Amino acid sequence: MNSVSIYENETLLELMDCVDELVLVIDPELRVAMANRCATAFSGYSEGELATKRLPMLVEAGERRRMERLVRGSKERRGGEVAFLTRSRKKVRVSFSVSPLAGSGEAPRGYLFVGRLANSAYPSPFADPSIDLADRILAGIPDPAFVLSCPSRTICDCNEAAISVFGFERGEFVGRPLIAYLAGMEESDRDDAMLRRADETYARIGFFHERMYFIRKNGSPLPCDCFSIPFFKDDGSLASKIVIFFDRSREEKRERTIANLVEYVKSLAPEILGSAPSASRRVERLSELGFTPRQIEITRLVAQGLSSKEIGFRLGIAVPTVKSHLFMIFRKLHVGSRIEFIRLLAEERINIS
Q: Is the pLDDT of residue 234 over 70?
A: no
Q: Please report, for the domain that includes residue 214, its CATH number.
A: 3.30.450.20
Residue 116 or 24, more confident = 24
Answer yes or no: do 18 and 84 share one domain.
yes
pLDDT band at 132 (very low <50, low <70, confident <90, very high): low
Q: Averaged over 48-74, what is the pLDDT?
A: 86
Task: Name residue 81's beta-bridge partners.
Answer: 95
Q: Is the pLDDT of residue 252 over 70?
A: no
Answer yes or no: do 286 and 210 share one domain.
no
In a domain, residue 218? The reply is yes
> For the chain, what is the radius of gyration of the CA atoms?
28
Answer yes or no: do 274 and 220 share one domain.
no
CA nearest neighbour of 305 among 252, 353, 344, 342? 342
Q: Averaged over 153-165, what is the pLDDT?
A: 87
Q: Please report, for the domain that includes residue 266, its CATH number.
A: 1.10.10.10
Alpha helices, DSSP H, located in 37-159: 37-43, 47-50, 64-72, 131-140
pLDDT band at 165 (very low <50, low <70, confident <90, very high): very high
Answer yes or no: do 319 and 342 share one domain.
yes
Where are the extended beta strands (E) located within 173-237? Answer: 208-216, 219-232
Q: Averaged over 228-243, what is the pLDDT?
A: 73
Residue 339 or 14, more confident = 339
Residue 342 or 184, more confident = 342
Answer yes or no: do 167 and 268 share one domain.
no
Q: Residue 317 is part of which domain span? A: 251-347
Residue 279 or 96, more confident = 96
In a domain, residue 125? The reply is no
Q: Is the pLDDT of residue 188 over 50?
A: no
Q: Is the pLDDT of residue 245 over 60?
A: yes
Mean pLDDT of the chain: 75
Q: What percent of the chain has pLDDT over 90?
A: 5
Answer yes or no: do 37 and 82 share one domain.
yes
Q: Is the pLDDT of residue 278 over 60?
A: no
Answer yes or no: do 263 and 282 share one domain.
yes
In a domain, residue 212? The reply is yes
pLDDT band at 162 (very low <50, low <70, confident <90, very high): very high
Q: Which of 9-18, 129-138, 304-313 has the lowest mean pLDDT?
A: 129-138
The total domain count for the chain is 3
In a domain, residue 143? The reply is yes
Q: What percent of the chain has pLDDT over 70?
A: 71
Which residue among 192, 224, 247 closes a domain?
A: 247
Answer yes or no: do 88 and 136 share one domain.
no
Answer yes or no: do 29 and 55 share one domain.
yes
Whether the bond into 151 is cis, omega within 30 of 0: yes
Alpha helices, DSSP H, located in the chain: 3-7, 10-17, 37-43, 47-50, 64-72, 131-140, 160-166, 170-173, 188-205, 249-267, 269-272, 293-303, 308-315, 319-333, 338-347
Q: What is the largest CA-CA distance in the chain?
A: 96
Which residue among 117, 148, 181 closes a domain?
A: 117
In a domain, residue 122? The reply is no
pTM of the predicted model, to two decimals?
0.42
Which residue among 53, 84, 117 closes a domain?
A: 117
